[in-house]
Amino acid sequence: MKLITAIVKPYKLDDVKEALKAAGVVGITVTEVRGFGRQGGHTETYRGAEYKIDFLPKVKLEILADAPDVDRIVDVIAAAANTGKIGDGKIWITDVETVIRVRTGETGASAI
């Protein structure tokens, strides 16, 4: 089992969600996060004073998937979140030892 973590632009969240649902993904966890990558931050000017805003708002999605589904899901996210501009985000995959469904106690792939 794998954990797919994706950082995307907040306004692309709906597109990504719809694409994932259409691809058969049954669960997503979403967190509002702030951060910077190569895009860096930006400056805002209030009353003539410039403020450097280093951390930009992004959305983090976490999806548990069975190993054979991972590549397909990653492709779906990448396609839906892509605008071609800097700041589109990142996707990474990590190994998951096990998964437990709280309600039934099922473990492994059947708990996804």
Partner 1 sequence: MESGDLAWVLVSAALVLFMTPGLALFYGGMDRGRNVLNMLMMNFYCLLIVPVLWVIAGFSLAQTPFDNGFIGNFDSFFLKDITTAGDGGALATVAFLGMFAVITPALISGAVADRMKFSAWALFVPIWLFLVFVPVFKWVYGGWLFDRGSIDFAGGTAIHVNAGIAALAAVMVLGARKSDPSPPHSLPLVMIGTGILWFGWFGFNAGSALAANGQAAQAFMNTFLAAAAAGLAWLLVEWKRDGHPTTLGAASGVVAGLVAITPAAGYVSGPAPIVIGLVAGVVCCYAVRLKRKFGYDDALDVVGVHFVGGLVGSLLIGFFANPSFFDGEFDEGIFYGGGGKLLLEQVIANVAAIVWSFVITYLIMIVLKKTIGVRVSAEAESNGLDLSEHGETAYHSGS
| Identity of the residue numbered 2 | K
Stretch that binds partner 1, among 12-20, 39-47, 68-76, 96-104 (CB under 8 A): 39-47
For 56, residues 6+ apart whose C-beta sits below 8 A from its C-beta are 34, 35, 36, 39, 41, 42, 87
The reply to whether 44 sits near partner 1 by the rule CB under 8 A is yes
Number of residues that bind partner 1 (CB under 8 A): 8
30 sits near partner 1 (criterion: CB under 8 A): no
Q: Is 26 in the site for partner 1 (CB under 8 A)?
A: no
Q: Which of 11, 51, 55, 92 binds partner 1 (CB under 8 A)?
A: 51
Give the containing element (helix H, strand E) for 53. strand 49-53
Tokens of 87: 């700041």
